[in-house]
């Protein structure tokens, strides 16, 4: 039994004394102990070495005592497993030397892999992490949404508008849907293995869903996320997070997911209204607001909880924590939740 099960209770919609808290990208670059490892090992070495990935996962838990750990990894291990080269270039970020631009590439070069053969190192990291956590808090596994993965596979790197990815979808829709389905099938198999190995919940990150119009979002993103939710929801709680996708919250709330992540561009009141107050919500503190003084952070976090309500709510950021956030400010964010008393 997990000693601190606040996070799992919130996912089940149960009443809690205070909402649970964790931060997207909490295992990462704002922590000095993480930076020590970063200077010694390159990015994908950290992802692919179970001893390093598990150590990085538990670092923020040791320092701050969040209510859930999230496995250190990256959404781009999926295309790597699918026979697509992905590098992490300093100063550039994700870099794909051979982007997917043709139907022939999708048909002949992109595979649906054997998960144990290609991503077994992730499962080893889960096993090691579970040992280190010693049932103190739940462990979250994650994957990128098929649309978000396609964005990188086609664009070849990060982008402000993913114009090449959208052009590919709109000019070669048959090839785009084949690629999206291959990514979906791989992601389902991957997340199932994660749950079987020991993660307590999974989150799907649709980081670039907001790049699409509401109509295109349904066609090129949401229907594939729905497949993932349908395949996983009876095995473990599923959190769906679509950045910039407030327009789809009503449909998302009927998907069978256990919770929905929301970003900082929507009020708590509207997020509750758009989801008919029917589902646990997670979010939505602006990560850049963690530059505010600790006292102000605490005040704003308290107001945020008051606005969402303590039940059916998981305190989090509206996207990943930034690398240059002062560690005492991140601490103030966590402390504010732990000290929260409902009125």
Domain containing 242 — which CATH number? 3.20.20.210
Spatial distance between the Cα atoms of 270 and 276, rounded to a whole number of angstroms: 9
DSSP calls for 71-121? ----TTHHHHHTT---EEETTTEEE-SS---SHHHHHHT-----HHHHHHH
> Do 186 and 145 touch, CB atoms closer than 8 A?
no
In a domain, 54, yes or no: yes
> Do 135 and 129 touch, CB atoms closer than 8 A?
no
In a domain, 235, yes or no: yes
Is the backbone peptide bond immediately before 130 cis, with ω within 30 degrees of 0? Answer: no
Q: Which residues are annotated as a binding site?
A: 25-29, 44, 74, 152, 207, 319
In this predicted structure, what is the pLDDT of residue 342? 74
In a domain, 27, yes or no: yes
- Would the pTM count as exceeding 0.85? yes
In this predicted structure, what is the pLDDT of residue 343? 61
In a domain, 304, yes or no: yes
Q: Which range of residues forms the domain containing residue 118?
A: 6-338
> Do 322 and 24 touch, CB atoms closer than 8 A?
no
Spatial distance between the Cα atoms of 107 and 239, rounded to a whole number of angstroms: 31
pLDDT mean across residues, the chain: 97
| Range 259-298 burial, b when 16+ CB lie within 10 A, else e | bbbbbbebebeebbebbeeebbbbbbbbbebbeeebeebb
Count of domains for the chain: 1
Q: Which residues are annotated as a binding site for substrate?
A: 25-29, 44, 74, 152, 207, 319
Q: What is the pLDDT along the chain (343 residues), one digit of tens a residue?
A: 999 999 999 999 999 999 999 999 999 999 999 999 999 999 999 999 999 999 999 999 999 999 999 999 999 999 999 999 999 988 889 999 999 999 999 999 999 999 999 999 999 999 999 999 999 999 999 999 999 999 999 999 999 999 999 999 999 999 999 999 999 999 999 999 999 999 999 999 999 999 999 999 999 999 999 999 999 999 999 999 999 999 999 999 999 999 999 999 999 999 999 999 999 999 999 999 999 999 999 999 999 999 999 999 999 999 999 999 999 999 999 999 999 987 6
In a domain, 343, yes or no: no
- CA torsion angle 95 98 103 106 (round to 10): -70
In a domain, 261, yes or no: yes
> Do 68 and 142 touch, CB atoms closer than 8 A?
no
- CA torsion angle 50 55 56 61 (round to 10): 140
In a domain, 255, yes or no: yes
In a domain, 1, yes or no: no
């Amino acid at each position: 039994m997990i000693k601190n099960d606040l996070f799992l209770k919130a996912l089940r919609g149960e009443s809690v004394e205070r909402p649970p808290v964790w931060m997207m990208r909490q295992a990462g670059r704002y922590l000095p102990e993480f930076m020590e490892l970063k200077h010694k090992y390159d990015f994908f070495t950290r992802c692919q070495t179970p001893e390093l990935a598990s150590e990085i996962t538990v670092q923020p838990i040791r320092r701050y005592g969040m209510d859930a750990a999230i496995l250190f990894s990256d959404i781009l291990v999926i295309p790597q497993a699918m026979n697509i080269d992905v590098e992490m270039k300093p100063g550039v970020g994700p870099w794909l030397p051979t982007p997917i631009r043709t139907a022939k590439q999708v048909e002949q070069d992109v595979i649906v892999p054997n998960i144990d053969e290609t991503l077994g190192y992730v499962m080893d990291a889960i096993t090691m992490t579970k040992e280190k956590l010693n049932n103190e808090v739940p462990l979250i596994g994650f994957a990128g949404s098929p649309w978000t993965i396609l964005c990188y596979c086609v664009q070849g790197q990060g982008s402000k508008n993913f114009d090449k990815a959208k052009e590919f979808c709109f000019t070669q829709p048959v090839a785009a849907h084949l690629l999206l389905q291959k990514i979906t099938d791989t992601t389902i198999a991957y997340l199932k293995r994660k749950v079987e190995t020991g993660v307590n919940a999974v989150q799907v990150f649709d980081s670039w869903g907001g790049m699409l119009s509401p109509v295109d979002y349904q066609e090129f993103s949401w229907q594939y996320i729905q497949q993932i939710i349908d395949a996983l929801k009876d095995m473990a709680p599923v959190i769906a997070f679509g950045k910039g996708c407030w327009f789809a919250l009503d449909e998302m709330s009927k998907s069978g997911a256990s919770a929905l992540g929301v970003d900082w561009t929507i009020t708590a009141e509207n997020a509750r209204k758009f989801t008919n107050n029917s589902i646990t919500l997670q979010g939505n503190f602006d990560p850049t607001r963690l530059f505010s003084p600790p006292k102000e952070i605490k005040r704003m976090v308290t107001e945020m909880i008051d606005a969402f309500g303590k039940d059916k709510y998981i305190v989090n950021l509206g996207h990943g924590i930034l690398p240059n956030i002062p560690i005492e400010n991140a601490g103030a964010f966590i402390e504010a939740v732990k000290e929260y008393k409902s009125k």
